[in-house]
Structures are given as structure tokens and as C-alpha cells.
Structure 1
Amino acid sequence: MTDAVLARTLDEDVIARRGVWVTVRRRVLFWLPLAVLAVLLLMAIVPQLFSSADPRACDISASARPSSPGHPFGQDLQGCDVYANVVHGARASLSVGLVCTLIALVIAVGVGTVAGYVGGWADSILARLTDVFLGFPFLLGAIVVLNSLGKRSVLSVSLVLAVFSWPTLARMVRTTVRATRDAEYVQAAKAMGFPTTRILSHYVLPNSIGPVLAVATLTVGGVIVAESTLTFLGLGLRAPSISWGLQLATAQSRFQQAPHTLIYPAIFLAATVLSLITLGDVLRDAVNPKGRS
């Protein structure tokens, strides 16, 4: 009986995953943002493929010069090439979003799985812990912590933002795990004497993590915006780091005289966030059976 239940569950899981793939592969709104993100990721990994110019090679005599031969996006207030800085700035901005979300996801999966699967006192304690962190406004909490740090790197900014990002994901993990733990195949695995670690890794998490991963995609976009906002306020990354947020912060004081110094990094930032949000929405609809058509 239990073997049949487990076998049927595995077949249904394969069919469900195929159903998600069949759903997303037919949507232009899946491939378009994916292509944009692939280009941006390649830009972050190998910026030399997109620009051979040194982003730190500046000519102060060419301060705020508009587009010219060799400088398609013009030059910023220090006379540095805007295009080279946009290309090289992708690494820091995307790294903060990805590293922060990865850290938050690891914490959320651990806390949410224990709370949702064990329940009882563990659920109560972890739920109260989550509520404590949710009580801090995301940006305000990050501002307070970052303001007390001397050196701010990609890793330190990512860690601070992750501290205030994981509770929402943890609540979602808890909800999906609670919905999965009483399923027939989980009960069958328990009846067969499978260890808890195997039940969680083979049956509970694979069937409950899908919606969480879709929302995590949206989180990456939100974190990139948060990093840019904090950097714009002077509380995020600092020179000599290169990021879109730093470019926006530097350019805002002379926007009317040199709008190109702000417009181009803003376009890349908006394209990144919009692509992540669109991709996350498509994936969220796909993992939801009601969203498949």
C-alpha cells in the first residue's frame, strides 16, 4: 500500500513539474526577461565582453560631457566613462540581490521547515522569532544597522539586507510545508520508517519549495532596489566600489545639467528589476495549478 502511494506520488510529481515547464515555455513573458537577465548576468561575470574601457580612468576636463565617439553614454561628473561604469556596476548590484536572497532563502527554509513540519512548541517559538524581525521596517532596520558599520562591502550589505528579508519567505515555507506534511505520500514514508531527513529532502521540500522559489525571484528585484536606495542615501556601498546605486547617488546633484549620468544607470536598474518581477510573476502563476492554462 505504502509503496504504491509513494510510486504514484513520484509519478504525479514528475507530471506536475512537466506541467510547469509546458506552461512557462509557451509564454513570451518567460523568455524575454530570461534573455535580458542572461545578458545582464554575463555582463556582471565578464564585463570585458561588453566594454574594454577602464571605468576608473577619468578625465576631469571632460566632466559631464554627453555622448561622444568612444563614450556612447557620455562621461560622468569626474570624467569617467558612463557606459563602462554601467557595465562594471552590474556585478555589485546583481551580487547584492543574489547573495542576499540566497542567504535569506537558506534561513527561511531552515526556520520554516522546522516550524511547519515539527509544529507544537517549535512552531510557536519560531513564529514569535519571525514576528520580531517582521516588526522592524525593512529599510529602516537596514539603515540603522548599516549606519553603524564602518566598512560596507557587497557581503556586509547583503548580510544586513538578508537579516530583514528572510521572515516573509520563512512564513511562506512554513505554510507550504504544513500543507504537505499531512499528504498521503508523507504518511506512507513515515509508515515505512524513513528517517526524517529523507522525508524532508525527498518528499516534503521538493513538493513545497516551488512557490517559495518563485517569490524568491521577486525578492532579488526588491533587494536590488533596496541596495540602490541605501547607496543613493549614502548608507550602502561606497567608492571605490562600482554600482548602479553609486552612479545614481553621484549623478543626482547635477541631473539638470547632465541628465545622461543618471538616465543610463537608471534604465539598466529598471530593466533588471522589471525582468525579475516579470519572471517571478510567470513562475508563481505556473507553480499554481490555477495559473496553468
Structure 2
Amino acid sequence: MPESHDPHQAMAPTGGGGAMDLAMTEAETLQGSTGPTGAGPEAKARSLWSDAWHQLRRNPVFIVSALLIVFLVLIAIWPQLIASGDPLKCDLGKSEQGSAPGHPFGYDTQGCDVYTRTVYGARASITVGVCATVGAALLGSVLGGLAGFFGGWWDALLSRIADIFFGIPIILGGLVLLSVVTSSTVWPVVGFIVLLGWPQISRIARGSVITAKQNDYVQAARALGASNTRMLLRHVAPNAVAPVIVVATIALGTYIALEATLSFLGVGLRPPTVSWGIDISNAAQSIRNAPHMLLWPAGALSITVLAFIMLGDAVRDALDPKLR
């Protein structure tokens, strides 16, 4: 028998997508509709984040760097897992001695166990890196996102303020600002890094938001009467956050190295805090007689910074469609 034709079906539009579909989707959302929008599991699988996670799981660079970072975070939280000694317990009679049973990395100038101090040094360095990155990312994303979305005088004011902070040499700024701080905790260093680190992330967030707000779905939401808060949180921010995540991940390793540099110069973390930068500074005076004092904390620092930079590169490759 010949196939029957439904006149209502013949009158249905055949083109999917476009501005009309975007407008209908936004209208249903604004009215509080919770019904299906035609996006099934296959559509979710094609989203940016799903594709990124699919690629990351198959990237050996990401796997190696992620496992290494997980290990470093674990020993930063629970250094007793692999080190049973006390990093502040020293014996001057063993000053600058080499490897010994139970002390594979030898002793430093004060007779402290280098292995134990290297393990415990991960706590301060990673704490500074993570807290500074979170603070700079939040502050920079909020200020840069608002500037990019609203523009006008707010954008101009933020850009001028960011230019002022960009003009401050970060090492010189650390020497000036941290030299008057007497606290031996990590928070003055974290505050300093956030103070000089947010402008970079704010510029990335600003540019990403400016690009995202020009897309058709944002214009459709605006035409249907969506508020600025709704457009910013629901449509712009989720599509502008990827570059911020990439920059923040790479910056985390940079901030760890910056903390070590400031501690090496004597204005970062201070004793009795155990830090790789402090141990490297102490070892610099005895590098010829006891090179092992410098080798192990410097090696741990280099591996940690490299792991976070590798992770950032892997995330960047996964989130950038042009690199696929």
C-alpha cells in the first residue's frame, strides 16, 4: 500500500536550530519549563566539557601530571604517610652529613633530616599555590567578567587599575611589601600573590566574556527580556570560564615557584615554617661541601611546578577546539 502522508507533518518546518530555536528554548526556560528540550544524551556527549574530559582521559600527559599532583597533595595533607620524623628535630653533630640508614637524603647544616624536611615542605608550598590561585582566580574572574559584560566606565576604570598593578615588578614588590611583615604564616605571601596576580586573570576573563556575550544565544536571551544576572550566570559565565581555568592551572605552578623565590630571598615564608624555598636558601651557602642539601628540595620544587604546568597544558589542549 502507498505510504500515507500526514498534512500536519508536511506543514512542519524542516530546518532545525537557528535563532527561532534559540528563542523558543530561552522562552521555555524563562517560563520555568522543565520538559525536554530535544537535547538527549548524544547532545550532552558533544558538549565542550564532555569532549574535554573524553580527551583528558586519553592524554598520558594529563594522567601522569594528575597522579603526581594527587600524590603531592596527599603528602602535603598527611606527610606522616611517608615521613615519620620531625622536620624541626636537629642534631648539630650530624651537620651536612650524607646519606645514612633511615636518612636517605642526608642532613642539612643544622643537622636536620633533609628527607623529612623535603616531605613536610610540600605542605607550605602547595598551600600557598592553591590558596593564591583560588583567590586570584575568583577576584580576577569577578572583576574582569563584570567589566567585560557591562563595559563603559567600569571597564575603563578596571583596565587602568590593572595597568597599575602590571607595572609593579613582582619580585621588587615582594621585597618591599613583605619585608615589613613579621608573620611566619603563609597568609601574607598568599595575600601578596593575589594582590599582584588577579590582573592577569581579569584580562583573560574580560576578553572571554566580551566574546561570549556576542553569541546568538545571549542576544536571544536579551531580546526575550532575560535579566543581566541571568544572562551573565546562565549563558555567559559557563561559556567564558574555560580560558580562566587554563590560565589558573598554569599559574598555580608559577605561584609555587614565586613563593620559593620570595622565601629564598628572605621575605617569603620564615622559620620555623618548613618550606622548599627556605631549605634552598640555607643550602646555597654549602653547595660545594654538601650538594645534597640543595638537590632534594630543589628537585621536589621543580617536579611540582612541572606537574602543574603539564596539567595546565593538557587542560588547554582539551578545552581549545582549535587544537583538536
| Partner residue of 1:3 out of 14, 24, 32 | 24
- Structure 1: distance between partners of 2:274 and 2:168: 29
Relative to structure 1, is the Cα distance of residues 13 and 154 closer, same or farther in structure 2, using a 3 angstrom cutoff?
farther
Match of 1:115 in 2: 147
CA shift, 1:149, in A, is: 1.7
CA shift, 1:161, in A, is: 1.2
1:173 aligns with 2:198: no
1:31 aligns with 2:63: yes
Aligned length, in residue pairs: 292
SS of the aligned residue for 2:106 comes to: coil
Q: What letter is aligned with 2:219?
A: Q
- Structure 2: distance between partners of 1:9 and 1:67: 62
Relative to structure 1, is the Cα distance of residues 14 and 207 closer, same or farther in structure 2, using a 3 angstrom cutoff?
farther
| Partner residue of 1:149 out of 181, 198, 213 | 181
Provide the TM-score with structure 1 as the length reference: 0.95
- Structure 2: distance between partners of 1:184 and 1:284: 25
Q: What letter is aligned with 1:154?
A: V
1:184 aligns with 2:216: yes
Match of 2:306 in 1: 274
Match of 1:139 in 2: 171
The CA deviation string for residues 79-137 of structure 1, in whole angstroms up to 9 with x for no partner, is 11111111111000001111111111111011111110001111111111111111111
| Partner residue of 1:213 out of 234, 245, 250 | 245
| Partner residue of 1:76 out of 108, 118, 132 | 108
- Structure 1: distance between partners of 2:194 and 2:176: 14
Match of 2:265 in 1: 233
Runs of 4+ aligned structure 1 residues displaced above 6 Å come to none
Structure 2 gap segments, 5+ residues each: 1-19, 30-36
- Structure 2: distance between partners of 1:237 and 1:26: 39
1:67 aligns with 2:71: no
Relative to structure 1, is the Cα distance of residues 236 and 103 closer, same or farther in structure 2, using a 3 angstrom cutoff?
same
- Structure 2: distance between partners of 1:109 and 1:12: 26
The CA deviation string for residues 47-95 of structure 1, in whole angstroms up to 9 with x for no partner, is 1111111111111101111111110111111111111111111000001
Structure 1 gap segments, 5+ residues each: none
Match of 2:14 in 1: none
Match of 1:51 in 2: 83
Relative to structure 1, is the Cα distance of residues 73 and 91 closer, same or farther in structure 2, using a 3 angstrom cutoff?
same
| Partner residue of 2:121 out of 76, 89, 94 | 89
Q: What letter is aligned with 2:296?
A: Y
CA shift, 1:152, in A, is: 4.0
CA shift, 1:9, in A, is: 9.4
Q: What letter is aligned with 2:246?
A: A
- Structure 2: distance between partners of 1:283 and 1:272: 17
**Contact map agreement 1:138 1:165 (CA 8 A) in 2:** no
**Contact map agreement 2:259 2:277 (CA 8 A) in 1:** yes
CA shift, 1:19, in A, is: 1.2
SS of the aligned residue for 1:52 comes to: coil
- Structure 1: distance between partners of 2:234 and 2:39: 11
1:100 aligns with 2:121: no
Q: Larger C-alpha radius of gyration, 1 or 2?
A: 2
SS of the aligned residue for 1:207 comes to: helix
Pairwise CA RMSD? 1.8
The CA deviation string for residues 127-167 of structure 1, in whole angstroms up to 9 with x for no partner, is 11111111111222122111122224211111011111111
| Partner residue of 1:255 out of 287, 291, 312 | 287
**Contact map agreement 2:184 2:271 (CA 8 A) in 1:** no
- Structure 1: distance between partners of 2:162 and 2:192: 16
SS of the aligned residue for 2:226 comes to: coil
| Partner residue of 1:22 out of 54, 57, 61 | 54
**Contact map agreement 1:86 1:265 (CA 8 A) in 2:** yes
**Contact map agreement 2:184 2:272 (CA 8 A) in 1:** no
Provide the TM-score with structure 2 as the length reference: 0.86
